Amino acid sequence: MEKHSPEIITSVEHANDCISLIGGYETEVDVDAAALRIVQFFDFQYFVFGAFFRSGEREHYRYVFGCVPEWCYLYIQNKWYAIDPFIGYVLKNSSPILASDIPLTSPGQERMVASAGEHGFRSSIVVPVHSASSTWIGLLHLGTGEGPDRAQRSFDAHRNLMRAFGLELLEWFDSRLHDNNVSDLDLDKLDLKLLCKAQEHATAAEAARELGITLALAEARYRRLYRKLDVPAKRHAVEKAVELGLIRSLL
């Protein structure tokens, strides 16, 4: 796809069109630039998009940053992802919310939010992103250095569009994670089909029969998959494949 146009987004229809193009971008740089234009249409300045497992395992959190580098550094350096109240909200809720309406339950959370306010998120909105087709849950955080009235106006005007924006970012993340790991591990369609059969608890013989291949080939491919994924057995291969976005979780 050609790179995004630098033109300013001036209407909801134009914003919808720009959001729908996100899935076609090849690199995070292009997504970041396109996303910032959409964020500016919402009357915000910055954003952070994160994705993490449905279980809430925060050590697997992945980010796309559209904010000042200092905030990224402080957030990771202080390991604020371990206590982030916005992640806690997103795990249990699906509705966008003003960040100021999310309760803070510890001094650490208060320090995190205060620091965010000093780095472009004085007034902000948290958008949970849930998709039945994804192993991951997304968190879209939109921020501005302006006062709370700015966030409220944008929330009232663009709440549904923000949800669509977040969903496109999650689908882009899912797709790129899958494609990159398939390429890095040098997997083909048969490998992915065999992993899906393993996820369904099919034996090698059942998988071979259903896929129209010999048992010897199925067993050889499973052994190769264990080596590529660096796991000892089929169950672990399925868990690793889900973690890497190679196959969908059945949960």
Q: From CA 197, how far away is CA 194, in angstroms rounded?
A: 5
More confident residue, 61 or 242: 242
Q: Record the tokens describing residue 41, joined without a space.
A: 């249409």
More confident residue, 243 or 162: 162
Q: From CA 82, how far away is CA 109, in angstroms rounded?
A: 10
pLDDT band, very low/low/confident/very high, at 244 (cuts 50, 70, 90): confident
Q: From CA 237, how far away is CA 241, in angstroms rounded?
A: 6
For residue 70, the Cα-to-chain-centroid distance in whole angstroms is: 22
Amino acid 6: pLDDT:
55
Amino acid 8: pLDDT:
87
Q: From CA 221, how far away is CA 215, in angstroms rounded?
A: 10
Residue-range domain boundaries for the chain: 12-177, 186-243
Burial of 39 (0-12, 13-18, 19+ CB in 10 A): buried
Task: Judge whether residue 98 has pLDDT over 60.
Answer: yes
Question: pLDDT for 10-37, tens place per residue?
Answer: 899 999 999 999 999 988 889 999 999 9
Return the bridge partners of 139, or none: 50, 128
Is residue 231 classed as helix, strand or coil in its secondary structure?
coil
Q: Domain 12-177: which topology?
A: Beta-Lactamase (3.30.450)
What is the mean predicted confidence (pLDDT) over 24-51? Answer: 92
CATH class of 186-243: mainly alpha
pLDDT band, very low/low/confident/very high, at 58 (cuts 50, 70, 90): low
Q: From CA 238, how far away is CA 123, in angstroms rounded?
A: 42
Question: What Cα–Cα distance (Å) separates residue 169 from each residue in 18, 30, 88?
Answer: 12, 12, 20
Task: Judge whether residue 65 has pLDDT over 80.
Answer: no
Amino acid 60: pLDDT:
54
Q: Record the tokens describing residue 94, joined without a space.
A: 């699906």
What is the mean predicted confidence (pLDDT) over 100-122? Answer: 96
pLDDT band, very low/low/confident/very high, at 250 (cuts 50, 70, 90): low
Residue position matching structure tokens 């995070």: 28
What is the mean predicted confidence (pLDDT) over 95-104? Answer: 97
What is the mean predicted confidence (pLDDT) over 146-156? Answer: 92
Q: What angle do CA 119, 176, 71 make, to 5 degrees?
A: 10
Amino acid 4: pLDDT:
46
Residues in the chain: 251
Task: Judge whether residue 94 has pLDDT over 90.
Answer: yes
Return the bridge partners of 16, or none: none
Amino acid 139: pLDDT:
95
> For the chain, what is the mean pLDDT?
91
What is the mean predicted confidence (pLDDT) over 107-115? Answer: 97
Diameter over CA atoms, the chain: 66
Task: Judge whether residue 2 has pLDDT over 50.
Answer: no
Q: From CA 43, how far away is CA 134, in angstroms rounded?
A: 29
Q: From CA 177, how far away is CA 180, in angstroms rounded?
A: 5
Of 40-54, 181-195, 225-239, the least confident: 40-54
User: For 145-162, what is the HEC assignment?
Assistant: CCCHHHHHHHHHHHHHHH
